[in-house]
Structure 1
């Protein structure tokens, strides 16, 4: 799965340089090579997450390819100049 414009789907700012295991391979070894568990991300996002797993469901990050947010806006801002 290639990311759009080569940008990291987690931060949307840096160039994809690594592949991250959405669910850490150390905790979920049977999903190690499952394509849905492999996400192209930038090095910073990959390092930041490491093998961490959220303790509660509310802390789980959205899967950049399988969670459909539709057209709902989650963040809006006015830029004052």
Structure 2
């Protein structure tokens, strides 16, 4: 069964408000587990999941509190 929340496909779908609102604790845990396993067909699939988790952290932070370690948010200097 395919996860309906997966946006890591060749169509490069945009992360919409509807997609973010469709997430709950269980589907967020599934997303985080995929990122923890890091067993993707290609690097872009993993990157898409990472962007999705990051968007959830911004717009639905209550769902991602246990998974912040998966989001690289270290400060860096671009200069």
TM class by shorter chain equals under 0.3
Higher alpha-carbon Rg: 1
TM-score normalised by the chain length of structure 1 = 0.27
Greater strand share, 1 or 2? Answer: 1
Q: Looking at both structures, which has the greater relative contact order when contacts are Cα pairs under 8 Å and sequence separation is at least 6?
A: 2
TM-score (ref. length: structure 2): 0.27
Which structure shows the bigger proportion of residues in helix conformation? 2
